Amino acid sequence: MTDVRFLPIEKMNSAGFIELLAPYRFVGGESNKNLTAVKIHPGEEGNSSYIPPSLVKMVVDSLELSYRRTFLTDTTVLYGGRRMTAPDYVSLAWDHGFRLPDLPPFIVADGLVGADECKVTLPEQCETKVARLAAALERTDNAVMISHFKGHLLAGFGGSIKHLGMGWAAKAGKLYQHSSVMPFVNEDKCTFCKACISVCGSSAIETLENTVRINDQLCTGCGDCIQRCPVGAIRVSWNQEAHTFISRMVEYALGASMATTIPVYVNFLTNISPDCDCMKNEGPPMVKDIGVVASSDPVAIDQACLDLVTAAIPLDDNAEAGLDKFLKIRPDRDGREQLRIGEEIGLGSREYRLVKI
Ligand code: SF4
Ligand code: SF4
């Protein structure tokens, strides 16, 4: 049974973090020369629930990571906003305080536009054959995962598993996970500039009279056209069937965990909002801040977080302690599927021992 170490909110100070993370210290290797990725989410512009630089610094410093061999990282996204290309994303991370000299540098893991990828062959128990992940992952000696545990529109809740599976995916991998839908062109917005046609390596974009159309039979879902369109006319529909999305995301999480060594997952149970850090408005917290947990098992840590949030007294008078608050607001998105599938395919175990600091 895996330990999940729990630092309650009232002990979240530097001494508490050192004690919480003591078993995982020196993940940078004996001489601290390992190239270490610290996977974070610096928050979309306008979001206020992301884990702030001061808390990321507590983790980095408690693990005694070398600032010269460590980098903060994340991948680009499929939709508009400031996280779609690397230059904009780096400047957003800078604006949110993730910058030298207080923290290691922030580097985007999947290249300028999300096309730099490595491929990981998944074991036979997975329906997905190959995971298309950020190229930086295979060049990294090890990774520390820092996740914010909160609600999520498609996955029910998001913690370590979601951060691993979606967070390490290159653009093509993200599109695959969402790909019971393909990109489509909003004809009302399209200016017929044809910029998307030249970027499509699959000749999947056809011209119509005054607009273009994506041929689903030819499209491989690489996502290149989405970031190329100057007016945001190419979109994906996020309203996707839950099981396919969640199982692909969990299989990608397994792929990411196979691509590098991940000695520790750290989940923050603060600002536990109904929506995630990708949103400009994540919504008010559902419960009071609980604390922070750490474990070597991404399934065990998410199970422990779900149990802690379920047990917490809700801030909404209409809800009850002991209820799955994420399921209550999105009955068609059962986040526990992530935990069940994760255990089934060998990502981790739902059994854990909570060790309170
Ligand atoms: S997602 Fe890729 S393959 Fe599909 S239309 Fe866009 S550029 Fe072409
Ligand atoms: S890049 Fe955008 S605006 Fe230009 S043709 Fe393609 S979809 Fe239309």
What's the CA gap between 175 and 182, in Å, rounded?
8
Ligand approaching nearest to the C-alpha of 203: 1
The protein residue whose alpha carbon is closest to atom 8 in ligand 1 is 200
Question: Does residue 46 contact residue 281 with C-beta atoms inside 8 Å?
Answer: yes
For the segment 55-95, what is each residue's pLDDT rounded down to a tens digit?
999 999 999 998 999 999 999 988 767 888 999 999 999 99
- Cβ–ligand 1 distance for 222 under 6 Å, the answer yes
- Cβ–ligand 1 distance for 229 under 6 Å, the answer no
- Cβ–ligand 2 distance for 238 under 6 Å, the answer no
- Cβ–ligand 2 distance for 135 under 6 Å, the answer no
- Cβ–ligand 1 distance for 202 under 6 Å, the answer yes
Domain with CATH 3.30.70.20 in the chain: 182-235
Domain with CATH 3.40.50.11440 in the chain: 2-175+240-356
Among the residue ranges 5-14, 17-26, 75-84, the one predicted with the least confidence is 75-84
Ligand approaching nearest to the C-alpha of 215: 1
For the segment 222-276, what is each residue's pLDDT rounded down to a tens digit?
667 887 889 989 887 665 667 888 999 999 999 999 999 999 999 999 999 887 7
Ligand approaching nearest to the C-alpha of 200: 1
DSSP letter (8 states) at residue 168: T
Token pair for 256: 């990411």
Identify which has the larger pLDDT, 193 or 330: 193
Span from the CA of 203 to the centroid of ligand 1 (angstroms): 8
| Adjacent-strand bridge partners of 111 | none
What's the CA gap between 251 and 176, in Å, rounded?
12
Ligand approaching nearest to the C-alpha of 226: 1
**Structure confidence at residue 217 as a pLDDT band (50, 70, 90):** confident
- Cβ–ligand 1 distance for 221 under 6 Å, the answer yes
- Cβ–ligand 2 distance for 218 under 6 Å, the answer no
The protein residue whose alpha carbon is closest to atom 7 in ligand 1 is 200
Span from the CA of 275 to the centroid of ligand 1 (angstroms): 28
Closest by alpha carbon to 111, among 82, 90, 142? 90
Question: Does residue 117 contact residue 136 with C-beta atoms inside 8 Å?
Answer: no
Domain 182-235 fold is Alpha-Beta Plaits (3.30.70)
Say if residue 278's pLDDT is above 90.
Answer: no
What's the CA gap between 4 and 302, in Å, rounded?
10
Amino acid at 9: I
Amino acid at 246: I
Atom of ligand 1 nearest to the CA of 220: 3
Element (H, E) at 325: helix 325-329
**Structure confidence at residue 100 as a pLDDT band (50, 70, 90):** very high
Say if residue 181's pLDDT is above 60.
Answer: no
| Adjacent-strand bridge partners of 104 | none
Please report, to the nearest 10 degrees, the dihedral formed by the alpha carbons of residues 97, 99, 101, 107 taken in order.
160
Q: Which CATH number fits domain 2-175+240-356: 3.30.450.40, 3.40.50.11440, 3.40.50.300, 3.20.20.70?
A: 3.40.50.11440
Runs of H (alpha helix) within the chain: 14-21, 53-62, 86-95, 160-165, 171-177, 195-199, 224-228, 242-259, 298-311, 325-329, 336-344
Atom of ligand 2 nearest to the CA of 229: 1
User: DSSP string of 188-213?
Assistant: TT-----HHHHH-TT--EEE-SSSEE
pTM above 0.75, yes or no: yes
| CA 161 to chain CA mean position, Å | 8
Span from the CA of 183 to the centroid of ligand 1 (angstroms): 8
What's the CA gap between 310 and 299, in Å, rounded?
16
